[in-house]
Amino acid sequence: MRVRFTIAAIVAFVMAVMAYFVLARKSTVPQATFVLLSGRTLSTSSLRGQVYLVNFWATSCATCIKEMPQMVKTYERFKGRNFEFIAVDMSYDPLPYVTDYTLTRHLPFEVAKDVDGRLAREFYDVRLTPTTFLVDKQGNIVKRILGEPDFPELDRLIQHELAKNA
């Protein structure tokens, strides 16, 4: 009886340690290149050393459209402080809609078009919009947010990451 208990305790301990390492491991941002509406390119490697958000969205997504003014405010609060924002439009969204929305709403941050769905796949297979990733200065994904963010919490996270040394 005592041997079984000891073996069960050891197995439980080993499983707990393995679970800790699996869950504690940070996801890194994929090596990806964004093709911006301006025609320029921007890569995740060029963003290293900055805190940034990658927001997957679509003009046909009601929640995306609802959150966009707050995303603009978030960007405005942190711009110029080693912070970047890339809005990635989903592949199914017609380019004229994206261009029109970007211009008429005067989006102040970078907007990229995911023409073939490659970016969504590279970013851990994004299928739902909005999906937002907060990335730290080392290229680790700090948080993946499905749906509209809790903006006060997002601001706290961004502030915390900006305050860290690179």
Query: Which residue, chain included where needed, has tokens 């958000």?
Result: 53
Going by C-alpha positions, the residue among 137, 133, 32 that lies closest to residue 82 is: 137
% pLDDT > 90, the chain = 83
Rounded to the nearest integer, the mean pLDDT of the chain is 90
**What is the structure's pLDDT at 9?**
53
Say yes or no to pLDDT of 98 above 70.
yes
Q: How far apart are CA 41 and CA 86, in angstroms?
A: 11
Q: What is the mean pLDDT of residues 61-78?
A: 98
Say yes or no to pLDDT of 86 above 80.
yes
Q: What is the mean pLDDT of residues 128-150?
A: 98
Q: How many residues comprise the chain?
A: 166
In which band, very low, low, confident or very high, does the pLDDT at 19 lie, cut at 50, 70 and 90?
very low
Q: What is the mean pLDDT of residues 42-62?
A: 97
- The encoded tokens of residue 59 equal 């003009």
**What is the structure's pLDDT at 13?**
53
In which band, very low, low, confident or very high, does the pLDDT at 11 lie, cut at 50, 70 and 90?
low
CATH domain 28-163 topology = Glutaredoxin (3.40.30)
